[in-house]
Amino acid sequence: MEIHHHPDVHHKRKKFKEYFFEFIMIFLAVTLGFFAEGLREHIGDRTREKEYMTSLLQELKYDTSQYNKVLHTVGRLQPQLDSLYKNLKNAARYNYIIQGKWNYLMNQTSIEYRPGLPTIRQLLSSGNLRLIESRLVGNKILEYEAYVKGNVERLDDNINTATQKVYGFEDALCDYKYFVTVDLSQKADSSTYDMPLVVKDTIRLNEFANSFVNYKAISTAYNKTVLDALKYATELIKLINNEYHLEKE
């Protein structure tokens, strides 16, 4: 005779609890893993953000130092441009010679500076500008980049064009025999030299003189642009230091 066992109700309840407990454990493990991954990404993003800001801060400091050099050079150059204009407008008085004491700075000094913006360009091209948590810092970065790409580079091109125009007149209207007859390596200051004019035509000399007026006008506009760029860069440096306290590290 077979003996039938009744189902063990208590045994079934125990299995249900175990399944439920396993479900809870898996759910908690997945949830904690999700939060842990999010935390890891957050820490990684903040680390990369700080690295970007450290790099940008150094570049901005270099930019400001170059802007100050440009402003200093323009300040020295502009009076020389006035003298060169008078020299050419009164060429006969100067025996048709451009005086070296005035033209040396024009021929030996480059006043333009075009920031490379490597960190900002990397932030934009990689989409990592999103890493910048401070909206104010992000906006200031974009403002500085836009001003450099627009105003600074446009005026920089204008300065180059004006410079080449002056050099073109020098090549066409001046005698460079000085460089043939003088050993510049033996001269203490090879930057100061007279340049005899090979023409006496007043129209051509007037064009030459006007090239210095044009250069001065463009350099004046460039000077203002550089001042504004310096202001943008200085404000961004201060803002980055306030947000990230990098100077204290």
Question: pLDDT, tens digit, for every residue of 130-168?
Answer: 989 899 999 999 999 999 999 999 999 999 999 999 999
pLDDT band at 58; cut points 50, 70, 90: very high
**Nearest 5 degrees, angle CA 52-CA 55-CA 56?**
85
pLDDT score of 32:
57
pLDDT band at 104; cut points 50, 70, 90: confident
Between helix 153-173 and helix 202-244 the angle, nearest 10°, is: 150
Among positive and negative, which fits the CA dihedral 188, 168, 215, 72?
negative
Q: Taking all residues of the chain, what is their mean pLDDT, rounded to a whole number? A: 84
Q: What is the 3-state secondary structure (H, E, C) of 40-106?
A: HHHHHHHHHHHHHHHHHHHHHHHHHHHHHHHHHHHHHHHHHHHHHHHHHHCHHHHCCEECHHHHHHH
pLDDT band at 61; cut points 50, 70, 90: very high
All structural domains of the chain with their residue ranges: 11-248
Per the model's pLDDT, the better-predicted residue between 180 and 116 turns out to be 116
Give this prediction's pTM.
Answer: 0.79
227-244 mean pLDDT = 95
Question: pLDDT, tens digit, for every residue of 64-91?
Answer: 999 999 999 999 999 999 999 999 999 9
User: How is domain 11-248 classified at the CATH fold level?
Assistant: Four Helix Bundle (Hemerythrin (Met), subunit A) (1.20.120)
